Amino acid sequence: MTVAGLDVGSLTIKTLILEDEKIKSFTIIPTGADVNKLIRDCLEMTLKKSGDNFKNLSSIVATGYGRINVPFADKSITEITCHALGANWLNPETRTVIDIGGQDSKVISIDKNGRVVDFIMNDKCAAGTGRFLEVMAQALGVKTEELGNESLKSKKKITISSMCTVFAESEVISLVAEGCAKEDIIRGLHKAISNRICSMACRLRLENIITLTGGVAKNTGMVQALKKRLKAKVFVPEEPQIVGALGAAIAARKIVYSE
């Protein structure tokens, strides 16, 4: 059985082809203005990689903020459910999922079958999200993908007092003007985010093993800060950005089985 999962996020679109128990291919592209075209283009790229076509697909499920923009999907499911399913598939021992995406951050408690037990979500502001780090990277004059390695060079502790994106940016600019090293500032930002995520997680029943998902999980410095703050076993998938799309594909497979 060949199915597709689509995760249409605020910053990126992810599509994935799942055949039985094997991930055949996936694609990650930036989200743009013409979302409908980009979604189809992304899926077509993924199908080409796997040697499949639309006719081969038994089912398609969409998730993410833009899931309503996928008219050819058989069903749309929340990203909470899909991240839970994807994390469970990648690591069955997972009981807590922390997803730090471009626009929000989520902490999800799941059972042994990948079902959502409880969750908490920050979607009211950019604090503690990929967008927050993008703004800080711009203020520091570094690329977002360089933040992780830069923070590991830090030799001095710096505290970032504000998690409001606007105020934090002003604080970062002031620290640069004072001559503070960029790597120390970045480390301080990572620590501030990890504190915020931990305060969210502590409102749920935090259990081992914790799986990190979302693009921010590619940031080595952020992962290190979270591990230190959470004091728990943390699992980072080989490609943490596709976990939602994987969960959508797993849901698509369940739809076919139930028919």
Instruction: Please spell the DSSP secondary structure of 63-77, one letter per residue.
Output: ESTTGGG-TT-SEE-
- Asked if 104 and 79 touch (Cβ cutoff 8 Å), the reply is no
> Per CATH, which fold does 93-236 belong to?
Nucleotidyltransferase; domain 5 (3.30.420)
134-171, pLDDT tens digit by residue? 999 999 999 999 999 999 999 999 999 888 888 999 99
Structure tokens at 147: 């933040």
Q: Which CATH number fits domain 1-91+241-259: 3.30.43.10, 3.30.420.40, 3.50.50.60, 3.40.1030.10?
A: 3.30.420.40
pTM of the prediction? 0.93
Residue labelled with tokens 């069955």: 92
DSSP state of 209: P
CA distance 257 to 168: 49
CA distance 4 to 16: 6
201-220, pLDDT tens digit by residue? 888 888 778 999 999 999 99
Same topology, domains 1-91+241-259 and 93-236? Answer is yes
Average pLDDT score over the chain: 93
Beta strands of 51-168 (E only): which ranges? Answer: 59-63, 75-76, 96-100, 105-110, 116-122
Residue predicted with more confidence, 69 or 74: 74
Contacts of 126 (CB under 8 A, 6+ apart): 103, 132, 135, 165
* Structural domain spans, the chain: 1-91+241-259, 93-236
pLDDT at 128: 76
Contacts of 203 (CB under 8 A, 6+ apart): 107, 120
Reduced to 3 states (helix: H, G, I; strand: E, B; else coil), residue 31 is coil
Contacts of 205 (CB under 8 A, 6+ apart): 109, 118
Structure tokens at 111: 């059972």
